[in-house]
Amino acid sequence: MAGEDTAALLRQPDAPKRATLLELLLDVVYVAALALISMRLADDVNWLGAARVLVLLMAVWWIWSITALLTDFYNPEQLGIQLVVAWAMFGSIVMTAALPHAFRQQGWVFAGIYVGIHVGRGIVLVALLRGHEAQARAARFLLWFVVSGVAWIAGAFLPSPMRLALWAVALMIDYVGAALRYPTPRLGRVPLYQYDKASEHLGERYQQFIILALGDIILVPVVQNDGRGFSTERLGGLLLAFATMLLLWHIYVYRAGAFLQVAIRRGPGRTTRWAPYTHMLMVAGIVSTSAGFELVINGSRSRAGLGWVMVVVGGPTLFLIGRTVFEYEIFGRFSWSRLLWLVVLVGIAPLLVSPPLIVAAAVTGVALLGVGLSDAIRAKRMSAPGGHSTRS
């Protein structure tokens, strides 16, 4: 039987639901990482650049997501778990510094740290949980990250196009393995009841990350200011960025402050398994939106161009898709008003190629305002007698 010290590593049902200060400190590292990724996208607006940015973003997001799951399943007040989180934080700092060089000669730094974070965490947990049934869970995670790690390390020493392809394969292993519950020889899959142990703490962690990430919509264009001062158009772009940030916050949080908490109480297992993927879409949308406003405020084109429009309009579109799919996976229903506005955004995008980019940003902002108003109207109807207050 496992000793009391080993059993204490697991989060207890009556444990505090609030995030620890160490977890919040970890999130700060990712604000910088997302900002750098947004800047990279703004500097390289083409299909190849977008593919590279997506690979980098998915890698960075997966470290945060697995670490959030770690601190929800295990007790973050235990020294051993705190050391694992601190290792993830240090590795994330190095990865962030290596982001601009990931597809250059020093790509091995980015890949090596990514693998080191996941494999190192697995080794430590397997050692700490010796004799406890939770050791099998840690072993499953470890095996899958070792497999994907081979592709990560091999790709780091290949030319850039082949590196991109092999790293994409590695990410597919990571993401698909999690979706399949890490099937492992002799150990099988992670039991569903372990996902059902998810607490409201996990919902709070996702909310905190999204809120911090939204700040990059203002941070990136301001930090990247090229020193030309403020024109009327640049000031208008900054106001649009601020308004867009608030609208995305409203869409995510309004009647969703409890949305994620309600979802976890109703179906913790399903929420835990789907939240990383749907929130990945929302984070990708925020990164694209941040890059878009850097182009709006600091760009110099008289006409937008298709690539720039796709960045500006595509960001909020991805965010809305992620939010809509997550609601469907949890409650089995679509928000039809959001779907309608998504169709409007996609349909109007080709018409925004010729005007200045700020026009595309303004039209997108109007669409987001429409989403927010539609949500408010629907919420008011649901709160009326005979409505269903759990709808969002």
> What's the pLDDT tens digit per position in 241-269?
999 999 999 888 765 445 666 666 666 66
Name the DSSP class of 352.
Answer: G
Least confident window among 147-161, 249-263, 269-283, 361-375: 249-263
Q: Residues with Cβ < 8 Å from 77, sequence gap 6 or more? A: 15, 20
Q: Which range, 245-254, 293-302, 330-339, 357-366, has the best average confidence (pLDDT)? A: 357-366
Q: Residues with Cβ < 8 Å from 251, sequence gap 6 or more? A: 319, 320, 323, 368, 371, 372, 375
Tell me the mean pLDDT in the region 118-146: 94
Gap between the Cα atoms of 282 and 76, Å rounded: 26
How large a percentage of the chain has pLDDT more than 70? 88
* CATH 1.20.1410 domain residues, the chain: 200-379
What local confidence, expressed as pLDDT, does residue 258 receive?
Answer: 52
Using the predicted structure, report yes or no on whether residue 347 has a pLDDT greater than 80.
yes
Q: 102, 38 in Cβ contact below 8 A?
A: no
Least confident window among 133-142, 337-346, 372-381: 372-381
What local confidence, expressed as pLDDT, does residue 228 receive?
Answer: 62
As a whole number, the mean pLDDT across the chain is 87
Using the predicted structure, report yes or no on whether residue 348 has a pLDDT greater than 50.
yes
Gap between the Cα atoms of 304 and 28, Å rounded: 33
Q: How confident is the model at residue 329 (pLDDT cuts 50, 70, 90)?
A: confident
Gap between the Cα atoms of 312 and 307, Å rounded: 9
What local confidence, expressed as pLDDT, does residue 332 receive?
Answer: 72
pTM of the model: 0.91
> What's the pLDDT tens digit per position in 118-130?
999 999 999 999 8
Q: 322, 278 in Cβ contact below 8 A?
A: yes
Alpha helices in 180-267 (DSSP H): 192-195, 200-214, 216-223, 232-253, 259-266
Using the predicted structure, report yes or no on whether residue 391 has a pLDDT greater than 50.
no
- Which amino acid does the sequence have at 386? G
Q: Considering the domain 200-379, what is its CATH architecture?
A: Up-down Bundle (1.20)
What local confidence, expressed as pLDDT, does residue 390 receive?
Answer: 43
Q: Which residues pair with residue 10 across a beta bridge?
A: 74
What DSSP assignment string belongs to 309-341? HHHHHHHHHHHHHHHHHHHHHHHS---HHHHHH
> What's the pLDDT tens digit per position in 186-214?
999 998 888 777 677 888 889 899 999 99
Of 168, 209, 191, 169, nearest to 31 (Cα)? 209
Using the predicted structure, report yes or no on whether residue 86 has a pLDDT greater than 90.
yes
Q: Of 303 and 340, which is predicted with more confidence?
A: 340
What local confidence, expressed as pLDDT, does residue 382 receive?
Answer: 64
Q: What does the block give as tokens for 70?
A: 């770690």
What local confidence, expressed as pLDDT, does residue 35 receive?
Answer: 93
Element containing residue 180 per DSSP (H, E): none
Q: What angle do CA 207, 238, 284 make, to 5 degrees?
A: 40
Tell me the mean pLDDT in the region 152-161: 95
What local confidence, expressed as pLDDT, does residue 309 receive?
Answer: 92
Phi, psi of 184 (to 5 degrees): -135, 135
Gap between the Cα atoms of 147 and 376, Å rounded: 47
Gap between the Cα atoms of 258 and 182, Å rounded: 30
Of 171, 21, 34, nearest to 99 (Cα)? 34
If DSSP codes are grouped into helix, strand and coil, which group holds residue 30? helix
Dihedral over Cα of 221, 344, 254, 204: its sign: negative
